[in-house]
């Protein structure tokens, strides 16, 4: 679903639930997420969102400004951190207790490592079946330059910071590395195979290019 606000067109990610009200959230990636009661007419959703036009423009403007100037992380219970593309207070991701900022940072990193390993293990098999490939192993690593890698002996790695990305972006990196099991170079055959599994892969690449620098501890 799309909506026109001023001279801009925005995509709406609508989720239907058992709730009684329409609610709107703008996540850290600038996407408009709407929750609506089951059976709500499209027109009612669009009208509700349109009523928040000024707030949407202001919020998106703030996000654009924030992208240019990375904000220091607040390692405290209510500090905001990304997980699977959404922002959460720190205490919802890890136990905070009486830990100091450095201990909280280390605990959060461990959470990202452990969580991403589970996410990749759950989401990779369907793509393996589609591509008819099987990596020798995969592990979660820390890297400043790569989101993933594939070695000549079919071992895959994934950057722990991907735990901060939306699931569909994690899927892109998974598929990207699985395709390298068939084509080690980024030649035309590689991109054709990748596009066959994930036609919108360029959108995922753009997301990482725009927001990857903010997916940090």
Task: Look at the block and give the residue holding tokens 């293990």.
Answer: 121
Against a cut of 0.75, is the pTM above it? no
- Express each pLDDT in 20-35 by its tens digit: 889 888 876 677 889 8
**CATH no. for 112-214:** 3.30.2010.10
How many Å apart are CA 110 and CA 158, to the nearest integer? 14
**Is pLDDT of 131 > 90?**
yes
- Chain segment 58-72, per-residue pLDDT in tens: 887 776 665 555 566
- State the Cα angle at 167 between 149 and 157, rounded to 5°: 15
Mean pLDDT of 72-97: 86
Measure the CA angle with vertex 96, ends 93 and 100; round to 5°.
130
Q: What is the pLDDT of residues 173-200, one digit of tens each?
A: 999 999 999 998 888 899 999 999 999 9
Q: CATH 3.30.2010.10 residue ranges in the chain?
A: 112-214
Q: Determine the Cα–Cα distance for residues 16 and 38; give it in Å rounded to an integer.
A: 5
Adjacent-strand bridge partners of 25: 33
pLDDT above 70: residue 139? yes
Average pLDDT over residues 137-163: 95
């Amino acid at each position: 679903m799309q909506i026109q606000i001023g001279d801009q067109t925005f995509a709406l990610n609508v989720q239907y639930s058992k709730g009684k009200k329409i609610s709107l959230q703008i996540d850290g990636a600038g996407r408009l997420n709407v929750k609506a009661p089951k059976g709500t007419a499209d027109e009612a959703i669009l009208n509700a969102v349109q009523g928040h036009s000024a707030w949407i423009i202001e919020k998106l403007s703030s996000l654009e400004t924030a992208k240019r100037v990375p904000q220091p992380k607040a390692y405290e219970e209510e500090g905001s951190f990304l997980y699977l593309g959404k922002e959460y207070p720190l205490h919802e991701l890890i136990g905070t207790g009486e830990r100091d900022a450095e201990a909280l940072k280390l605990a959060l990193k461990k959470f990202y490592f452990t969580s991403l390993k589970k996410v990749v293990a759950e989401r990779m098999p369907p793509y393996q079946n589609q591509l008819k490939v099987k990596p020798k192993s995969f592990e979660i690593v820390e890297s400043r330059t790569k989101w993933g890698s594939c070695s000549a002996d079919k071992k895959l790695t994934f950057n722990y910071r991907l735990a901060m990305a939306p699931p569909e972006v994690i899927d892109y990196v998974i598929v990207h590395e699985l395709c390298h099991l068939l084509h080690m170079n980024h030649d035309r055959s590689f991109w054709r195979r990748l596009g066959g599994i994930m036609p919108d892969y360029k959108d995922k690449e753009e997301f990482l290019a725009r927001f990857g620098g903010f997916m940090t501890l």
